[in-house]
Structure 1
Amino acid sequence: MAGDAENLILEGDRLPTTSTTAPGTPLLQSSETDLDRYLRRLEVFLSFLSFHSHSSLLILLLCTFVFLLLGVAIPLSTIILTVCPHGGCDGYRIERLEISVFVFRVLLAAVSLACVSRNLYKYGIRRFLFVDQHHGQADRFQKEYVHKIQEFFFLLLWWMLPCFAVKVMREILRFGAISHDSTWKAVVVLLFSIMSWIYLTTVFLSSCLLFNLVINLQVIHFEDYCRLLERDMDTLIFFEEHIRLRYNLSKISHRFRAFLLSVFLFVSASQFVALIQITGYNETISFTNSGDLAVASVVQVVGVVLLLHSAAKMSHRAQGIASVACKWHALLTCSSTDTSQGRTNSSGNLDGVQAAPHLLMNYSESDLESLDNVSGLTNTRLVSYMSTYHKRQALAMYLQTNAGGITIFGWIIDRIMMNTIFFLELTLVLFVLGKTIVFTSK
């Protein structure tokens, strides 16, 4: 029966999602107006960032052109304009650091665009976010969905503003150094640097926040599942719902595993390269000539924190369901409507056959075995209770051994892995910041 339930869920996941938006259904359309509006805004915003989600070849070429222009050509031109072949630039830049920052910034943005665009093109915005209408949940969770999408834009703005302020301050300091050589070149470098930085940073952080949004939408369903355990329903319903939730987590892990692994590797490589370059540089390093490295390091660690926090939160919620189910099973087993109608004799059996069915939930499984010889207890109510008990026990054991979570090729991203990766990245970033955010008196 479990296999049939899982096959039914997998078949239902492939059903079309346009049934509730077909013409002639104004009631369903009006109930999803807010959700449709915010999903459209999110899709338009991602399209402006060159995330490809359509089958048109023209749009694909346009997105590629925008990325090559804003993400590659413009920042590369700033590096070329600020090259100091004769060493007379008063030390306002270090070419090797600028090139390494540029390379890793472009790599992270390219990986973000490739992974997210592939999923958007393949599944669409609704299936990508698991806003499944055919499960009948879009109406129930519409307010929560809208709130999480609003939170996506809020978090993006909240993380971009402080990094943008530091970036502008650094560019203004560099503008003052470059303007002595050429004013027009300083203006072009200032505008091009800020423009390309905004684009590449927004692409990278938007991808990280999209993963965070997908996780937050699934957290809504896991919280609803915990509330579902408080109801007196068939155990098979709980089992089928958990199969669907765990299947969604498997699909999320499969869609984002390349992105997560690439981000972790590129960020670690970027920090190691910066560490080697800074320790091997003999001249004075200040915020003016290497502040871009500090800004890039902060952005990278913010993206890693967003990814790790989201994945670990989801794994923690998935693993916590087992404890909730065990508590639910224990409460139903130990609860009783009347604890004063029966007495136990010296052999541990209950006196009073009529009171026994009401007191069965006060006994553990071993105590129930001692009641087998009492006449009148092998009735329909006892069989029904024992059947329900074993179903709950099977569900609790299943949830304990099949908790699930966000994985990268089988490795669960839990709090242990999150702490390991986070403190490794934080150590590297703090060392880089300690070497770059230095204001000299010269």
Structure 2
Amino acid sequence: MRKHSLYALSCAFFVFGCYSKGKAQHQQLAAQILADSSLTMVDSLAKSIIKEGFNAGSGYSQIWARDFNTLIETSLDVRSKEDVRGAILMFFALQQKNDEMVDGYVVKKDFTWNDDTPYYSDAAPGHVGFKNTVETDQETSLIQLVGKYIQKTGDVGLLQEKVAGVTVLVRMEKMIDYLLRERYNKKYGLLWGAMTADWGDVQPNDSFGCDWNELSDEAIDVYDNAMFMIALQYLIEVVPDPQKAAQWAKMKKGIHENVRKYLWDAKRQKFIPHIYPGKSPIPAGFDENTIHYHGGTAVAIEAGLLSKKEIAIVNKQMLENVKLSGMPSIGLTLYPTYPDGFFKGGMAKPYHYQNGGDWTWFGGRMIQQLIANGFVKEAYEEVRPMINRVVKNQGFYEWYGKGNVPDGSGKFKGSAGVLSKAILQFREWAVVNQK
């Protein structure tokens, strides 16, 4: 009996010692985060450019749902609730008669680019909509945007706001119906889009690459379906009808199960890039399943598709990919890249744009998920390259190439938004753990 008591006592001391050590490490990290002036500077710079408007950034006059979704919380910190609300409602005014949602919109005088299929609506006579039809994240991005807006403002009245006689809530439900009718593969029980690189909106078969055409290849990937799951969760949280909430929950559960069944490679502990229900565009001799999709994986974590153990594994894979590629951060879109010339136009070369470029816009989302899942030390270490280059360049570039060379928009608000949100997460964690 005495031996058992001594053993129990020693175990208790061991556990207490581990707890004390862990607490001390947390306190040290918390103090470091709270004293980090570079985080303050980057957050301040992010807010200053997001305050300028809801367009995607310098060089972009358009307001995109997929971009706005990643800067909505910071927008509400620096712009009035009415401004944000109005920008959201304009999307619903441009919803099409078949219930689909546009990618984004612009005032008519700024519609200056060549587009064979502009989107118009009688409910938005002063604006023009547009859509990259190779993608399947427009509807899900807007639903998430509305969910985040309500979460931060408490303005549930937005759901009952009527746009051309139809409430926002009903319009969102119709968007789900559109996806299930037009972009749902019954065999796999998952959404599909055109084959693109990870979360990207450029297909490989033509030089423009953003519109579905006779050269497109139907493909199922984790990004589109993770975005769908996140959107369904927001609907579950805001819908006032318990029966409909149960319906969305059942649908979300089915998507979860099918992603795990068909897209998760348990042996390699990574997501399969694509399932091709029809013909595959992948050239002979190239194994697409060697490719790790960083952006889609980050969004999958947000959707709750990976366990904590799996998150640790895929994060280590991302770090190894960064090392092997020579790219600057885990914002690396994918690794290894698609072969030279597989994509047409600007993405033909590896490590260019969405074919292996480094995008803080998605790397920052991985940082957010690391923090949310308790990997704060790893997140703080892995965000440094992203923070450091903002400080160095005094701006948020769209993407970075080899040698950390910035490219694209110099004021890319998606990048600013994800870093600002991550910095808030760091600070909230640090305040709780500093004592």
TM-score, structure 1 normalization: 0.23
Structure ID, larger Rg:
1
Q: Structure 1 or 2: larger strand share?
A: 2
Give the structure with the higher percent helix. Answer: 1
